[in-house]
Structure 1
Amino acid sequence: MHIGIAPPIVIAHPAVRADWELGAGIAELTAIARTADRLGYHHLTCSEHVAVPTDVAVERGGTYWDPLATLGFLAAQTTGIRLATQVLVLGYHHPLAIAKRYGTLDVVSGGRLVLGLGVGSLREEFDLLGAHFDDRGARADDALAALRASLSQPRPEYHGTFYDFDGVVVEPHAVQPRVPLWIGGRTLRSLRRAATLGDGWVPFGLSLDESCVLLAKVDLPEGFEVVLSAGAPLDPIGSRDSVARALERRRDAGTTVVSATLASTSAAHYCEQLEALRLLGNELGLSFRTATEDRIRP
Structure 2
Amino acid sequence: VSGGRLILGLGVGTLQEEFDLLDVPFTDRGARADDSLAALRAALSERVPSYRGMYFEFSDMVVEPNAVQPRVPLWIGGRTPRSLRRACELADGWVPFGLSFDDVQAMLGRRQLQSGFEVVLPAAGLDPIGDPDRTRRRLDRAVSAGATIIGAGVTAESVDHYCEQLEALTELYGEAFGNAGE
**In 1, distance between residues paired with 2:4 and 2:166?**
24
CA distance in 2, matches of 1:187, 1:245: 26
Counterparts of 2:22 and 2:171 in 1: how far apart (Å)?
45
Where 1:195 maps in the other structure, the secondary structure is helix
1:286–1:206 CA distance, 2 compared to 1 (3 A): farther
Query: Which residue number corresponds to residue 197 of structure 1?
Result: 90
Q: CA deviation at 1:227?
A: 1.4
Number of residue pairs aligned between Structure 1 and Structure 2: 181
Residue 81 of structure 2 corresponds to: 188
* Structure 1 residue 157, shift from structure 2 partner: 0.7
Please give the residue correspondences for 1:15-34 in structure 2 after superposition, counting only pairs within 5 Å.
none
Please give the alpha-carbon distance, in whole angstroms, between the structure 1 residues aligned to 2:166 and 2:20.
40
Residue-by-residue CA offset, 1:3-49 (whole Å, 9 max, x unaligned)? xxxxxxxxxxxxxxxxxxxxxxxxxxxxxxxxxxxxxxxxxxxxxxx
Cα gap change, 1:286/1:136 in structure 2, threshold over 3 Å: closer, same or farther? farther
Q: 1: distance between equivalents of 2:167 and 2:7?
A: 24
Pairing 1:117–2:28 present: no
SS of residue in 2 equivalent to 1:260: strand
Task: State the structure with bigger RCO (CA 8 A, min sep 6), 1 or 2.
Answer: 1
For residue 252 of structure 1, the aligned residue among 124, 144, 148 is 144
3-state SS in 1 of match to 2:150: strand
Could you say which residue in structure 2 is the equivalent of 1:237? Answer: 129
Question: For residues 26-105 of structure 1, what are the structure 2 equivalents within 5 Å?
Answer: none
Q: 1:131 Cα shift? A: 4.3
Please report the TM-score for the alignment, with normalisation by the length of structure 2. 0.90
Following the alignment from structure 2 to structure 1, what is the Cα–Cα distance between the partners of residues 165 and 59?
Answer: 49
Q: Which of the two has higher C-alpha Rg?
A: 2
Residues 81-103 of structure 1, C-alpha deviations (whole Å, 9 max, x = no match):
xxxxxxxxxxxxxxxxxxxxxxx
Quick check: 1:219 aligned with 2:112? yes
Residue deviations 1:118-147 (CA, integer Å, cap 9, x gap): 111233333334444332111111000111
Contact residue 75 and residue 95 of structure 2 kept, 8 A: yes
TM-score, length basis structure 1: 0.57
Instruction: Give the secondary structure class of the aligned counterpart of 1:113.
Output: coil
Do structure 1's residue 163 and structure 2's residue 56 form an aligned pair?
Answer: yes
Helix, strand or coil at the partner of 1:167: coil
| One of 143, 148, 158 as aligned partner of 2:36 | 143
The two structures, once aligned, show a CA RMSD in angstroms of: 2.0
